[in-house]
Structure 1
Amino acid sequence: MNEPTTALPSRFERFGLYHLERFERENTGETAFEIPDEELTRQVNRISVKGVVLSCLVGMICVFPIIYVDVRFTNASAWVHYGWLIAVTVVATAIEFYCLFYISLKAVHKVSELIHLEHVMHESLEDGIFGVKNILARTALEINDPELKILGIDPFKRISKKNLFVLGLLYKGKIIVSNLLLKYSLRFTVGSRLLGVPILYAAIPVEMFWNGLVILKVIREARLRLFGYALANKIADSVAADGYLEILSPEAKKGCLRAIGNAVVMTQNYHPNMIILLLRFKDLFQVEEEDRYDDWELFLETLREVSEQERNFLLDLLTVAAAFDGKLSPIEKEHLQEAYQQDAELYLKRLTDLTSHLKNGRLNAALSLCQLDFIKG
């Protein structure tokens, strides 16, 4: 049984949705595909710079009182010292988190205005946990995407949940570890003061660095997800408009869902770009039941059984789906060779170029490589 894609968002996600709903939208009238890639890049960079500057200022302002209190009460009793330190840390951290979340939400909102998704949205995706605002809220707040099994496809079929948990802990602890390493390395090399300033203040540039890095990461991921959303809808609309729904055989239609499903499994996460593509094709083919759409051997069998033209179409779709998260995993590279066979060089170049365009924010260049047809390559 498939889990619904209209489940209620978490309380944290609703916090993001609340702010995104309140932000006013500017509409220039141009669609995302009418704006040159160079202009899109320039405007995204401008949003990024503003976000980084604001996040660095927030880090500096919020960390300063924590360090000041730590230095000010160093010689006081433990109760006084740590009482003040804990109280100020809790308040300052809460303020910093709220400000950073707000900056992130505002940044992804500004990026979404550039894309003008209202021109490429589809009614089947407007609501639910894979709606645009839900995706943006999770991106800005760095919330994991929901673990669903759409059409029985398991994104973690080839990866350990324990490994994902450990990686998450390491990621969340990066700032603490950086601060400790810097503080104790400086204390070991130059003592408790540097140029008359207590070493504890070294935490300020570290905090500013990580805050800026997180904002950059959020904006780049938001751009990738927004581009993927726009492209997935564009691809699905083109398939319908070009009459492929009437031409493709029932086996080839299953092959389409297996191409996307196996791309999800090889990527080892439920990246929204792939899910949007999967949901649009699921809607196009009016499929609701599971049929081992994440089975790689069945997909290879389908490639052998369909006509040469349909095989070309399926390899096009597999290439696009594999590129949609903006990176290539070792598992993808290994398995794609099996599917491409003698045409590996041709399709791998397209895959590499498309991945690069998506990762670097070249929307129109990416669109030119997302065409699905019956022609090889």
Structure 2
Amino acid sequence: MVADYGLPGWDTRSRPMESAQSQKPELNLIERIAVSILRRQNGRDQPEVHRWPAQELVQIRRLERSAVLLAALSGMISGALIGGLEVWLNFTMPDASESWGRWIEYWIIFLAGSVLVSVVEILFLYWVVLRRVARITSIAGLRLSEQEIDQVIAIGLSRSALDLPDPREPIYGIDPYARVPRWRLVGYAILYRLKIGATSFIARVLLRRVLARAAVRAFIPLIAILIYAIWNAIIIGWVMRASRVRAAGPLAVEELGQRLQAERTQLDEPTRRLFLEAVAEAIQSGGTAHPNLQLLLGRLFRELAITPDSLTLDWGSHRDAVADLATEVQDLLLALITVTTILDGRARRAQKRFLKSLHAACGRRYDARSTAAVYHDFFQGQGIGPLRKEG
């Protein structure tokens, strides 16, 4: 079993990698608080990354379910409080629509109450998620210290717990967003910011337009309770899933690194460079700067002894060399790219097309079920599963 990360991409002896990687990211106040809570709750002095046995997987699932249930309950409570406030205002201020002064007073009271309830609810949800994510990291054997490798993991986990997007910046000189249209990046940013207010919008604007009858409209505050609960459960379910993916990443990277170590003697310098060009292509096809990919690249540049600034990032000029590789080397390349595509939680369509083209270049047929099996093992905390070569 793995006793330490074994991810030396930030080793102080590896100067080329330090210069290629950007400086430690600046965190805002909320992120700094989140990282501090994660570290305090994690409490590990030493990392002990390992495959998750059945009893640990049960504990992790229980933590995930409890977070979702508490999120739904908090949604019901906040929905009831806001709905109750609206009912009370309608009862005490029935003439609010008859004068500007009364209308403004109505909305000031309603918005102030809604904001207060929402702020308390969001803080509670952050507390629920951060405590459980920290517990999951401890079970998985991750340490969240201030050392650089731990810092990458801690910041990535804090962003998933806070439901924040990954940073829009290159990883070791590779820009994951180079092929993502600007309009799509803007759209993603808008969607992230709409998440919190979406339920209020649906419950209080769309429902009022659709359900025009006054008799039905009176029940909208009650309907909103259910919507708040369901929305909270969905969002926190996503958050816990993203956090589990990040907690499972270090083990998968470590097992892949061990396989590279075992088979490195078969790889000459052009082949090692080819491997990294293929990884860069897979990352740019995915269009995300996931922290697991940062861990992967840190390990690969060290294991393959290639400096990041020497890559061409032009897969077209390397594609034809794949067919000339030995069968065992092709196996390793396909395993490497398969892991790269699943490390952020799912393989995108462009990545699947790339995997399919790689298999074709190797004279093989791409099997999506095989990739799904690798992802299943990865998500269950079993590393790279059927791709690992043991003994």
TM range (shorter): 0.7 to 0.9
Q: Please report how far the alpha carbon of residue 262 of structure 1 lies from its aligned counterpart in structure 2 after TM superposition.
A: 1.4
Q: Please report how far the alpha carbon of residue 117 of structure 1 lies from its aligned counterpart in structure 2 after TM superposition.
A: 2.3
In the other structure, the counterpart of 1:152 is 173
User: Residues 331-370 of structure 1: matches in 2 within 5 Å?
Assistant: 331-341=350-360, 343-345=363-365, 348-358=368-378, 361-364=379-382, 366-370=383-387
Change (3 A) 1:335 1:235: closer
Alignment partner of 1:285 is 2:304: yes
* TM-score calculated relative to the size of structure 1: 0.83
Query: What is the alpha-carbon distance in structure 1 between the residues aligned to residue 389 and residue 42 of structure 2?
Result: 36
Q: Please report how far the alpha carbon of residue 99 of structure 1 lies from its aligned counterpart in structure 2 after TM superposition.
A: 0.9
Query: What is the alpha-carbon distance in structure 1 between the residues aligned to residue 124 and residue 24 of structure 2?
Result: 29
Say which of 260, 263, 269 aligns to 1:239.
260
Change (3 A) 1:79 1:326: closer
Q: Please report how far the alpha carbon of residue 165 of structure 1 lies from its aligned counterpart in structure 2 after TM superposition.
A: 1.9
Q: Name stretches of at least 5 consecutive residues in structure 1 with no aligned partner.
A: none
Q: Please report how far the alpha carbon of residue 84 of structure 1 lies from its aligned counterpart in structure 2 after TM superposition.
A: 0.7
SS at match of 1:4: coil
Amino acid at match of 2:386: L
Q: Please report how far the alpha carbon of residue 213 of structure 1 lies from its aligned counterpart in structure 2 after TM superposition.
A: 1.2
SS at match of 1:325: coil
Q: Please report how far the alpha carbon of residue 265 of structure 1 lies from its aligned counterpart in structure 2 after TM superposition.
A: 1.0
1:82-119 Cα deviation digits (max 9, x unpaired): 12112112211211111111111112112212211259
Say which of 179, 183, 202 aligns to 1:178.
202
Q: Please report how far the alpha carbon of residue 343 of structure 1 lies from its aligned counterpart in structure 2 after TM superposition.
A: 4.1
* TM-score calculated relative to the size of structure 2: 0.81
Say which of 22, 25, 42 aligns to 1:7.
25
Say which of 366, 371, 374 aligns to 2:388.
371
Q: Name stretches of at least 5 consecutive residues in structure 2 with no aligned partner.
A: 1-18, 97-101
Q: What percentage of aligned pairs have identical amino acids? A: 21
1:312-358 Cα deviation digits (max 9, x unpaired): 32222112212222322221222222211164425544323213433
Say which of 27, 36, 40 aligns to 1:18.
36
Q: Please report how far the alpha carbon of residue 9 of structure 1 lies from its aligned counterpart in structure 2 after TM superposition.
A: 2.3
Given that residues 199 and 227 in structure 2 are in contact (C-alpha distance below 8 angstroms), is that contact kept between their aligned partners in structure 1? Answer: yes
Equivalent residue pairs, number: 356
Query: What is the alpha-carbon distance in structure 1 between the residues aligned to residue 229 and residue 52 of structure 2?
Result: 36
Which shows bigger deviation, 231-240 or 12-21?
Answer: 231-240
Amino acid at match of 2:38: L
Given that residues 286 and 341 in structure 2 are in contact (C-alpha distance below 8 angstroms), is that contact kept between their aligned partners in structure 1? Answer: yes
In the other structure, the counterpart of 1:99 is 124
Alignment partner of 1:296 is 2:315: yes
RMSD: 2.9
Question: Which structure ranks higher in relative contact order (CA pairs < 8 Å, sequence separation ≥ 6)?
Answer: 2
SS at match of 2:309: coil
Q: Please report how far the alpha carbon of residue 306 of structure 1 lies from its aligned counterpart in structure 2 after TM superposition.
A: 4.1
In the other structure, the counterpart of 2:228 is 207
Change (3 A) 1:347 1:183: same
SS at match of 2:180: coil
Change (3 A) 1:46 1:336: same
Given that residues 138 and 144 in structure 1 are in contact (C-alpha distance below 8 angstroms), is that contact kept between their aligned partners in structure 2? Answer: yes
Given that residues 377 and 385 in structure 2 are in contact (C-alpha distance below 8 angstroms), is that contact kept between their aligned partners in structure 1? Answer: no
Change (3 A) 1:166 1:124: closer
Amino acid at match of 1:209: I
Alignment partner of 1:78 is 2:117: no
Query: What is the alpha-carbon distance in structure 1 between the residues aligned to residue 367 and residue 322 of structure 2?
Result: 15
In the other structure, the counterpart of 1:249 is 268
SS at match of 2:63: helix
Structure 1 segments, 4+ long, off by >6 Å, are none
SS at match of 2:168: coil
